[in-house]
């Protein structure tokens, strides 16, 4: 394979890159990169599915068709969790996702062609969902189109891994070479051998050495002729202290995870399961990764599902991301008590925060304020005459 053929192989949809040399072949596999990407994708999708899609009409919460679609079943073949997992996967891997609304069902397109215009609605054609291709064209007002970034971050990650993946493959190859068994056998192999003698030499190398190196055998005997000497030349028998370990490979894999996490704004500690400063990591994850994604989805649904006049009258969709972070009830108690005391929460609000059904009674929806507070304009201080 020539150098130009090798470069061309990078862009042909293969999951590896082969570099042929005179004595060896270096293979770069994409499994490590795929593991990091899929882990980040699952984390983001799992966080998004914990959100509550709340619909309002004239400022009052209303559970209707849109609420059921986004929280339970967007279409007849998917529930809400499966739907948003698919949406996030398309967004991260392809940097865009198209959702088509047909017969009050939300369907995610597997592939499509987008034609953009400056002064008229964009056009979507060649839309394929599963194995069905639509012959009709879809206009901007007929679909929900989500775009994650102006530039596809996955192309940057792929380009980075093309270089770093070769380093990882080289490290794996080096580990195998450094920990492989090597023996030096001394003997007069250039002398004239009869057929029987040649067969005996072949049997010694092929049969005896195969049993000698087999790790599944509990014991193995090796018969060495007087004419031959065998010396273990493996690196493990040398006192060089330069024997490769699997931890070296793990560090390279960790670097790949760090690159992907950086591109997707996912804290590295969350991916690796570190519990140190977990609250700060979750806050960072919500602020820089989840909440911008929530805002993207919320704005697109509001833009297409509701008219401008309705939105201004507070008929809209709101995505509640407060349930993503699990809060201990003991830690929540003092904050809830304070909010209740200043009228920030009612009984039904508190029950919903705890994951329980509201009572929906007149007294449970009332707001209460303690007598410790009064109007700032009517403050009186000092002694009265």
- The DSSP annotation for 19-40 comes to EE-SS-EEEEESHHHHHHHHHH
Establish if 334 belongs to a structural domain. Answer: yes
Establish if 168 belongs to a structural domain. Answer: yes
Portion of the chain with pLDDT greater than 90, in percent: 40
CB count in 10 Å sphere of residue 35: 15
Q: Domain boundary at 220, 241, 262, which?
A: 241
Q: What's the pLDDT at 352?
A: 82
Q: What's the pLDDT at 24?
A: 42
Q: Domain boundary at 182, 212, 241, which?
A: 241
Q: Is the pLDDT of residue 245 over 70?
A: no
In whole angstroms, what is the distance from residue 350 CA to residue 366 CA? 12
In whole angstroms, what is the distance from residue 144 CA to residue 130 CA? 18
Establish if 196 belongs to a structural domain. Answer: yes
pLDDT range class, residue 344, cuts 50, 70, 90: confident
For residue 233, what are the contacts with CB-CB under 8 A and spacing of at least 6? 182, 183, 184
DSSP secondary structure code for residue 376 in this structure: G
Residue 233 sits in which domain range? 160-241
CB count in 10 Å sphere of residue 60: 8
Establish if 98 belongs to a structural domain. Answer: no
- The tally of domains found in the chain comes to 2
Cross-strand pairs, 27? 18
Among 131-135, 216-220, 337-341, which range has the highest average pLDDT? Answer: 131-135
Establish if 42 belongs to a structural domain. Answer: no
Q: What's the pLDDT at 335?
A: 83
In whole angstroms, what is the distance from residue 2 CA to residue 192 CA? 42
SS3 344: coil
Answer yes or no: are the C-beta atoms of 96 and 116 closer than 8 Å.
Answer: no
Q: Domain boundary at 192, 216, 241, which?
A: 241
Q: What's the pLDDT at 360?
A: 86
SS3 272: helix
Closest-CA residue to 55 (of 75, 73, 70) = 70
In this structure, the chain runs to a length of 385
* Burial (CB count <10 Å: 0-12, 13-18, 19+), residue 57: middle
Q: What's the pLDDT at 14?
A: 46
* Burial (CB count <10 Å: 0-12, 13-18, 19+), residue 249: middle
What is the model's pTM?
A: 0.73
Give the mean model confidence (pLDDT) for residues 65-77: 95
Cross-strand pairs, 106? 101
CB count in 10 Å sphere of residue 268: 14
Q: Is the pLDDT of residue 192 over 70?
A: no
Q: What's the pLDDT at 273?
A: 83
Establish if 227 belongs to a structural domain. Answer: yes
Establish if 187 belongs to a structural domain. Answer: yes
Establish if 230 belongs to a structural domain. Answer: yes
């Amino acid at each position: 394979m020539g150098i130009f053929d090798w470069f061309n192989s990078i862009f042909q949809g293969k999951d590896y890159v082969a570099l042929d040399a005179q004595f060896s072949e270096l293979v770069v596999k994409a499994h490590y990169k795929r593991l990091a990407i899929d882990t980040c994708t699952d984390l983001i999708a799992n966080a998004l599915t914990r959100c509550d899609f709340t619909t309002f009409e004239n400022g009052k919460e209303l559970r209707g068709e849109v609420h059921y679609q986004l929280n339970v079943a967007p279409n007849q073949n998917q529930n809400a969790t499966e739907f948003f997992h698919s949406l996030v996967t398309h967004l991260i891997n392809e940097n865009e996702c198209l959702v088509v609304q047909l017969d009050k069902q939300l369907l995610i397109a597997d592939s499509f062609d987008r034609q953009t215009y400056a002064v008229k609605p964009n056009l979507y054609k060649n839309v394929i969902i599963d194995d069905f291709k639509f012959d009709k064209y879809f206009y901007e007002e007929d679909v929900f189109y989500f775009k994650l970034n102006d530039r596809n971050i996955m192309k940057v990650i792929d380009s980075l891994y093309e270089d770093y993946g070769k380093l990882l493959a080289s490290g794996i190859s080096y580990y195998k070479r450094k920990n492989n068994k090597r023996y030096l056998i001394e003997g007069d192999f250039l002398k004239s051998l009869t057929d029987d003698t040649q067969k005996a030499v072949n049997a010694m190398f092929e049969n005896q050495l195969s049993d000698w190196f087999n790790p599944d055998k509990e014991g193995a005997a090796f018969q060495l002729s007087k004419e031959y000497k065998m010396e273990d030349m493996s690196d493990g028998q040398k006192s060089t202290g330069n024997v490769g370990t699997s931890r070296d490979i793990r560090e390279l894999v960790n670097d790949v995870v760090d690159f992907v996490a950086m591109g997707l704004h996912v804290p590295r500690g969350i991916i690796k399961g570190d519990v140190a400063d977990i609250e700060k990591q979750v806050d960072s994850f919500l602020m820089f990764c989840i909440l911008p994604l929530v805002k993207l989805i919320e704005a697109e649904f509001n833009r297409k599902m509701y008219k401008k006049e309705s939105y201004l009258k507070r008929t809209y969709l709101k995505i509640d991301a407060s349930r993503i972070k699990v809060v201990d009830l003991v830690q929540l108690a003092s904050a809830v008590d304070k909010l209740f005391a200043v009228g920030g929460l009612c009984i039904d609000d508190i029950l919903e925060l705890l994951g329980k059904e509201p009572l929906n009674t007149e007294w449970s929806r009332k707001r209460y304020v303690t007598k410790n507070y009064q109007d700032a304009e009517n403050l009186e201080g000092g002694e009265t005459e």
